[in-house]
Structure 1
Amino acid sequence: MSSTAGATGPVSFGARLQAAVAEHGPLLAGVDPHAGLLAQWELPDSPAGLATFSRAVLDAVDGQVAAIKPQSAFYERHGSRGLAVLEELLAGARERGILTILDVKRGDIGSTIGAYAEAYLRPGAPLEADAITASPFLGAGSLDPAVDLALEHGKGVFLLALTSNPEGHGVQHAIAADGTSVALGVARHAEERGGGDGSVWGSVGLVVGATVGDAYRRLGLDAAAPSVPLLAPGFGAQGAGIAELADVFGESAGHVLVSVSRGLLAAGPSVEDLRVRAKDLQADYS
């Protein structure tokens, strides 16, 4: 799905993502080729194994999901040859019109976060993606160079807000200097910068785990950021199911990207079996 819109500038990432969800449903396919999964697929834990795995997943989810979310770490661990496979995956998805959210969780300040943004969000970059994940815990405003570049080119950024790991609670629920939770401040920043409105999603989203219980609503993130898309890991193998869409997200459930990795990838290595699993998961959450 191209970000080009002629003289009016690029179509926003939020609008493109919203259209993809409307067309395909909310399923977001995690692409996580960790060593155990490669072994399960009877593939070598090597760049060649990564390449076979990545091509099979891309073939299987084409036309089945709103977007894919490759986890960069599982490619980076193989060095430059692993990154070359990730480049191939991102380029292949772009050729097929599949949106990509690259899970890199970068977080830094000034020119450094700007350089990370150039690596992933600049059109024509070898690792170009439609959006990235980013960590705002040096201050949400520290990510503005990445957000600025994303908005300029019709790209997106997902800020970690309420993660499902137990260690996250102590930071994300903590009360900041303004008397509100850190997570709420992140949500407000996403809403302010994202450019969304009542009908179009913003291009700065939030990562909110589907296993965080009532925290998303109790801390007021739903009211503070009504236009943001929500990337929600935790579905499937991590314990969340269809009930959590309503229980955790309430009226924001329609903005949720249901991120599933192991629950989908366990159906491999058969491309046809993966396609059937993706179709079944899409039906479950649509």
Structure 2
Amino acid sequence: MSPVTPVSPGSAGTGARRPFGARLSEASAALGPLAVGVDPHPGLLDAWGLPDDPSGLERFALTCLEALGGTVAAVKPQAAFFERHGSRGVAVLERLLAGLADAGTLSVLDVKRGDVGSTMTAYAQASLADGAPLAADAVTLSPFLGVGSLRPALDLAAATGRGVFVLALTSNPEGAAVQHARDAGGVAVAAAVARAAAAENAGALARGELGSVGLVVGATTGTAAADLGVDLVGCGGPLLAPGVGAQGAGPAELAQVFGPARGQVLATSSRAVLAAGPSVGALRAAARDAAERCALALAP
């Protein structure tokens, strides 16, 4: 295995591209509505017989790239598991993102950024600007400093044909204290986030396309969206749904959470697919099986 080397800024892809929402719709229709999470936590590296160091991380990431590139609609690397290895780990992430771009597979960089002013601008430039070493097709964002604080990322994503997924309803128990809270007018925070996404997606909706500003809605959140008045269909964007597979969400749970918005869902699965490694063939087969299962589970 060659040493880890940083990817040059130009390798992440530059130039005009079609909006993320349109590209995601096509990829999901062709390959199934699944994003495979690449979460190289220590236990998984050990299960693959790999050391918990940059060399093991690189072998893991490149195996995933070989197995998943061109196989699934999207791949979702979790940045923290690369960052924990320092600069060499970030270099592996750069290489993975560039490889996915070369393979024509959409990347969703899971970073959950959220800040204000020039700092938010810098976060946006790190992952949404053409030519950035960590440029992805979409990123996850946290709106809990106010949706307006995300404006630099929203604008840059729109300008470069990329997308964002904004946290709305997450499955962790602590999230409800913020996401379910209501303002003086009785509007829940999650519903306000969905309304903001709808405003950003209005142009795409007018063209009959899926918007590029999506929401993160946990697949195990039950009736929360309906109870809180979160208009998932009306948001007009894709719905990134963690919790499918190993975390227990199946057809019944997906129908309960998403209802008529099931056609907008991009389900995510990591452990259920990655457990098939380190065999490239077994990983590829597991990913295809998971994509087929998601397509069936999300059918109206």
TM-score by shorter chain over 0.5: yes
2 CA distance for matches of 1:33 and 1:185? 34
Check the 8 A contact 1:150/1:156 in 2, yes or no. yes
- 1:173-212 equivalences under 5 Å are 173-194=180-201, 195-197=203-205, 199-212=208-221
In the other structure, the counterpart of 2:261 is: 252
TM-superposed CA distance for 1:245, in Å, is 2.1
In the other structure, the counterpart of 2:70 is: 63
Deviation per CA, 1:121-166, whole angstroms, max 9, x where unpaired? Answer: 0010011111110100000111011100000000111100000000
- 1:42-191 equivalences under 5 Å are 42-191=49-198
2 CA distance for matches of 1:223 and 1:284? 22
Among 227, 238, 257, which residue is 1:229 paired with? 238
Deviation per CA, 1:194-253, whole angstroms, max 9, x where unpaired? Answer: 343062111110000000001122222235734110000011111112322212100100
Matched residue SS, 1:200: coil
Among 209, 214, 217, which residue is 2:223 paired with? 214
TM-superposed CA distance for 1:281, in Å, is 0.9
In the other structure, the counterpart of 2:6 is: none
1 CA distance for matches of 2:234 and 2:66? 35
1 CA distance for matches of 2:260 and 2:58? 40
2 CA distance for matches of 1:226 and 1:140? 14
Matched residue SS, 2:205: coil
More moved, 200-209 vs 225-234: 225-234
Check the 8 A contact 1:3/1:13 in 2, yes or no. no
The CA RMSD over aligned residues, in Å, is 1.6
Write the letter of the residue equivalent to 2:278: P
Check the 8 A contact 2:232/2:261 in 1, yes or no. no
Write the letter of the residue equivalent to 2:282: D
Residue 213 to residue 207, structure 1, CA distance change in 2 (3 Å): same
In the other structure, the counterpart of 1:274 is: 283
Write the letter of the residue equivalent to 1:42: G
TM-score (norm 2): 0.91
Check the 8 A contact 2:15/2:130 in 1, yes or no. no
2 CA distance for matches of 1:272 and 1:235? 22
Matched residue SS, 2:118: helix
In the other structure, the counterpart of 2:248 is: 239
Deviation per CA, 1:178-199, whole angstroms, max 9, x where unpaired? Answer: 4200000001111111343062
Unmatched segments (≥5 aa) in structure 2: 1-12, 296-300
2 CA distance for matches of 1:169 and 1:70? 25
TM-score (norm 1): 0.95
More moved, 125-134 vs 276-285: 276-285
1 CA distance for matches of 2:104 and 2:31? 12
Write the letter of the residue equivalent to 2:223: D
Unmatched segments (≥5 aa) in structure 1: none
1 CA distance for matches of 2:97 and 2:236? 27
Check the 8 A contact 1:188/1:224 in 2, yes or no. no
Write the letter of the residue equivalent to 2:277: G
1 CA distance for matches of 2:14 and 2:204? 16
Matched residue SS, 2:148: helix
How many residue pairs end up in the alignment? 282
Matched residue SS, 2:246: helix
2 CA distance for matches of 1:85 and 1:129? 14
Check the 8 A contact 1:4/1:11 in 2, yes or no. no
1 CA distance for matches of 2:196 and 2:235? 12
Alignment identity in percent?
Answer: 59
